[in-house]
Amino acid sequence: MIPQIETDEHKALRAAVAALGAKYGRDYITRTIAEGRHPTELWNEAGKLGYLGVNLPEEHGGGGGGITELSIVLEELGAAGCPLLMLVVSPAICGTVIARFGTEEQKRAWLPGLSDGSRRMAFGITEPDAGSNSHRITTTARRDPDTGDWLLTGRKVFISGVDTADAVLIVGRTEDDRTGRLKPCLFIVPTDAENFHRRPIDMELSASEKQFELTLDDVRLPADALVGDEDAGLLQLFAGLNPERIMTAAFGIGMGRYALSKAIEYARDRTVWKAPIGAHQAIAHPLAQAHIDLELARLMMQKAAHLYDTGDDIGAGEAANMAKYAAAEACVKAVDQSVHTLGGNGLTREFGLASLITASRVARIAPVSREMILNYVSHQTLGLPKSY
Ligand SMILES: Cc1cc2nc3c(=O)[nH]c(=O)nc-3n(C[C@H](O)[C@H](O)[C@H](O)COP(=O)(O)OP(=O)(O)OC[C@H]3O[C@@H](n4cnc5c(N)ncnc54)[C@H](O)[C@@H]3O)c2cc1C
């Protein structure tokens, strides 16, 4: 018997989230962007329906599912034209890390709010002088010998959604570990902490979520701001980074599906010769290929989510990278072909597809670039030597 890829519960979740997405749709997001505000109504309603914390433990207000379920939520909202980027960060990275490695007190303090969406957490690892090479991050935590507090100093860039977040989960390193391979430590930093500054980055992106540069200048944090063990290192970090990659795949697949659906609708109707343009194979075949690529990327995403949810962190690492790669490439291609299918209308504001060209590139760059995934597969999977 062929194993069922999605259970009836998954299908029901997909249908229910798709219905919520259809209620809001792309026009809602376009309006919030034009008005310079956040998609609060959609976020709150999704929270009330239990979708935002579907992956978090039931005992702390979540749905008791995993990244499989959360990726369904993001994909379906994206396919309706209204993705919530903060799902990648708040419940997927921060919620997962706290649920897996946080103290009981941290779980009680954060998970109910992250589950119903009443609280949000951003995530900061990228630094101006480190970029793709996280081993070079220099955000450093030192202990105040008198109080036991942490003092955190450093800079972060491109951190999404800090303006809507109660705190940022910051990746730093401890003072006696300033050099060599990264031994990361994760700190919950409230966004209203003293000496924590944020500056919006002027992005050419049409999205409700903004990116920020952060400066931390001896930000004083209580001893229990540290999540998990000072020495647990990369395992803890990747407990958050693998869900982030799987969720970015969901983001890309959702966006690709949305663009493709608009192109198909258009190609069925638009007639400039005898038959609608969708009858020309030069238009139809690339759309069919884009659909196949998105379906294949989803299969890889489902595999990665399954491995992660069943506790295979190593297997999930490889699959999450491959899923993110496949989904980003499928998304970029689907958006490009969809814009092209609409001819001049592909570039009008009315049809709203052109802005997705930039948005789709996000999935190729973040959270880990196409090239760094190819590097990972070259070295880890194929055993080829490294050039850097
Ligand atoms: C919209 C958006 C939202 C983001 N949100 C967040 C967030 O919330 N939190 C967060 O921490 N970060 C966030 N990021 C940052 C993102 O993760 C980084 O941009 C990404 O990791 C790439 O780092 P970089 O921009 O410094 O590029 P660089 O590392 O400078 O790379 C530049 C180019 O060089 C290539 N390159 C680098 N090294 C190699 C190599 N060894 N071999 C081959 N090619 C190489 C890269 O693939 C890339 O094409 C966000 C970025 C964007 C665009």
Asked if the domains at 8-119 and 122-227 fall in one CATH topology, the answer is no
Q: Count of CB atoms within 10 A of residue 358's CB? A: 14
Three-state DSSP state, 258: helix
**In angstroms, what CA-CA distances link 320 with 4, 22, 306?**
20, 28, 10
Percentage of residues in the chain having pLDDT higher than 70: 97
Cβ of 158 below 6 Å from ligand 1? yes
CATH number for the segment(s) 122-227: 2.40.110.10
Give the span between the Cα atoms of 199 and 272, in whole angstroms: 49
pLDDT digits (tens, 9 = 90+) for 154-189: 999 999 999 999 999 999 998 765 555 667 899 999
Q: Which of 181, 162, 184 is nearest to 172 (CA)?
A: 184
Distance CA 251, CA 362 (A): 10
Cβ of residue 159 lying under 6 Å from some atom of ligand 1: yes
Amino acid 175: pLDDT: 78
Mean of the per-residue pLDDT values of the chain: 96
Q: Residue 255 C-alpha to ligand 1 middle, in angstroms?
A: 20
pLDDT value at residue 179: 58
Contact between 144 and 93 under an 8 Å Cβ cutoff? The reply is no
* Residue ranges covered by each domain of the chain: 8-119, 122-227, 234-381
Give me 379's structure tokens: 């070295």
pLDDT tens, residue by residue, 128-150: 999 999 999 999 999 999 999 99
For residue 118, the 8-state DSSP code is S
Please state the atom number of ligand 1 nearest to the C-alpha of residue 371: 47
CATH number of this structure's domain 234-381, picked from the four choices 3.40.50.300, 1.20.140.10, 2.60.120.560, 3.30.1520.10: 1.20.140.10
CA distances from 84 to 164, 228, 290, 306 (A): 12, 27, 23, 22
129 Cβ closer than 6 Å to some ligand 1 atom = no
CATH code of 8-119, in short, is: 1.10.540.10
Write down the pTM of the prediction: 0.97
Please tell me the distance between residue 325's alpha carbon and the centre of ligand 1 in angstroms: 14
128 Cα nearest atom in ligand 1 = 26
151 three-class SS = strand
CB of 110 sitting under 6 A from ligand 1: no
pLDDT in tens, 267-308: 999 999 999 999 999 999 999 999 999 999 999 999 999 999
Q: Which atom of ligand 1 is nearest to the CA of 205?
A: 1
Pocket mutation for ligand 1, best pick of 90, 321, 369 (most atoms within 8 Å of C-beta): 369
Q: How far is CA 90 from CA 165, 220, 295, 382, in A?
A: 9, 23, 26, 33
Cα 359 to middle of ligand 1, angstroms: 15
Q: Locate the DSSP E strands across the chain.
A: 121-124, 140-143, 150-160, 167-174, 184-190, 196-200, 211-221, 226-227
